[in-house]
Structure 1
């Protein structure tokens, strides 16, 4: 893998959220995936306006042609749970990479509450910039052992919404898996489109995983998205877990719902396999 000089590596390490965000303390017991038989580390992706930090994980000993999964962070950034998601995918044979998409605006790990993260960081992140950063991340992965012709995306919470949007932005993706990402919302200069707006023209098959008890994503918005998808040609699907709330896959938080999380994870793996993403 590409080596980095110490100053750049220190910058990347500092820009990535370490551990868990202050806003979700205290952290409950969480699943920890080891790095046995994995190559893991920090990447610095050169952009016109800076270095995009990212965490990657991939199987050891496989030089190239690995299927790529872009992993999009929760609202809390690329903290340990998102890194663990990358390691879980790498154990299945993928090159998984999670870019820190807030790196220009600030480090969410330092914020003490969600409202502060939203007001000082998330509200300043432009969707167009996120799409470009994901394009750059994919290009980096293609130069470091990944097969750009076999790429999927998955994201959680804030990243679930981004998953829908990037699947529209990049029609060459094989598949997407959106975990409890908002589907409707306000339109603005930084957020000109919402997932429900692009549903009818979506070409990439996206699996949406949602909680029936999610207070932040009303079921009428899920139903609206499902109806819009049925008018298109993407073969996307939405699964709702009636007893699960928001962030049901976040095994480090009280919101974790083991049954829904485990079923969703298996559905994701099956979705990847059935859409040309099977790891060899």
Structure 2
């Protein structure tokens, strides 16, 4: 993987609600990659998305769907895609709020959550992700090697998608909420779908995450054990929420690096091309 801590892209390429960008931001080169914007037909509309894949590889590529934080598909999420592409994956990050609005129009996290994120139905998101997978299969991707990862809001979605799509081979959820109130847009949470998980899930959590207390993590672990689900949860004692977000003060380098290596190992463990399945 080619990583460079150089002058970061302008703040307006990140999330307006969390400016300014910190000096720890990682910028990954796109040298040797195909990257760019695309649209994905889904439920009668065209959803914007951003993708990255290696150049000069003829064989179908393993696919990682990258699910955004609450802030949408901004520079950090694109950089995650570039990092994965350098490792041989087709990585694609869809704009999953596109029907409800644009996260770049919000400068306060509370308003973003209240006026946009809360209005995005889970059912809509899961159906859109199915179309993302279909798009990947028609654009250099191998759907026999389909993975998903996501952060914050996207981490929660990863758990739900692992119970939704039986084609999925593995999921890695970074600090996604596990429990919560049941609403019309979010009728179920990860703790409610443990018995339906069809893909193994790795959950990566921070021990100092005020928004996801450790008792909710333990509740999830108990639910997973009761369902005999193939899943693992790792808690980093010194990390808080968003510990992989290298553009924010919440970044915890040691935890982020360990989580990244665990994610890659998780995908490799369930890659059928590498285990003879």
Deviation at 1:277, TM superposition (A): 6.1
**Which residue of 2 is the match for residue 145 of structure 1?**
140
1:87 is aligned, of 82, 85, 89, to: 82
SS in 2 for 1:269: helix
Residues in 1 aligned to 2:195 and 2:219: alpha-carbon distance in whole angstroms = 11
RMSD: 1.4
Query: Does residue 190 of structure 1 match 2:185?
Result: yes
Judge conservation of contact 2:40–2:47 (CA < 8 Å) in 1: yes
Task: Pick which of 238-247 and 192-201 moved more.
Answer: 192-201
1:53 is aligned, of 38, 43, 48, to: 48
Would you say how many aligned residue pairs link Structure 1 and Structure 2?
A: 263
Distance 1:235 1:48, change over 3 A: closer
Query: Does residue 210 of structure 1 match 2:212?
Result: no
**Which residue of 1 is the match for residue 120 of structure 2?**
125
- After the TM superposition, which segments of 4 or more aligned residues of structure 1 sit over 6 Å from their partners? none
Deviation at 1:65, TM superposition (A): 1.4
Query: Does residue 164 of structure 1 match 2:191?
Result: no
Residues in 1 aligned to 2:186 and 2:12: alpha-carbon distance in whole angstroms = 28
Query: Does residue 26 of structure 1 match 2:20?
Result: yes
SS in 2 for 1:169: coil
**Which residue of 2 is the match for residue 258 of structure 1?**
253
Residues in 1 aligned to 2:272 and 2:39: alpha-carbon distance in whole angstroms = 25
**Which residue of 2 is the match for residue 97 of structure 1?**
92
**Which residue of 2 is the match for residue 12 of structure 1?**
none
SS in 2 for 1:118: helix
Judge conservation of contact 1:176–1:206 (CA < 8 Å) in 2: yes
Task: Pick which of 85-94 and 110-119 moved more.
Answer: 110-119
**Which residue of 2 is the match for residue 173 of structure 1?**
168
Residues in 2 aligned to 1:31 and 1:278: alpha-carbon distance in whole angstroms = 31
Judge conservation of contact 1:67–1:277 (CA < 8 Å) in 2: no
Residues in 1 aligned to 2:35 and 2:196: alpha-carbon distance in whole angstroms = 36
Alignment deviations for residues 210-268 of structure 1 (CA, whole Å, 9 cap, x no partner) = 00000000100000101111122432000000010000000000000000000000000
Distance 1:97 1:278, change over 3 A: farther
Alignment deviations for residues 82-136 of structure 1 (CA, whole Å, 9 cap, x no partner) = 0000000001100000000000111111201111111111111000000011001
Alignment deviations for residues 56-88 of structure 1 (CA, whole Å, 9 cap, x no partner) = 000101234100000000000000000000000
**Which residue of 1 is the match for residue 4 of structure 2?**
none
TM-score, length basis structure 2: 0.92
Residues in 2 aligned to 1:34 and 1:158: alpha-carbon distance in whole angstroms = 26
Residues in 1 aligned to 2:67 and 2:31: alpha-carbon distance in whole angstroms = 23
Distance 1:247 1:149, change over 3 A: same
Query: Does residue 41 of structure 1 match 2:15?
Result: no
Distance 1:277 1:120, change over 3 A: farther
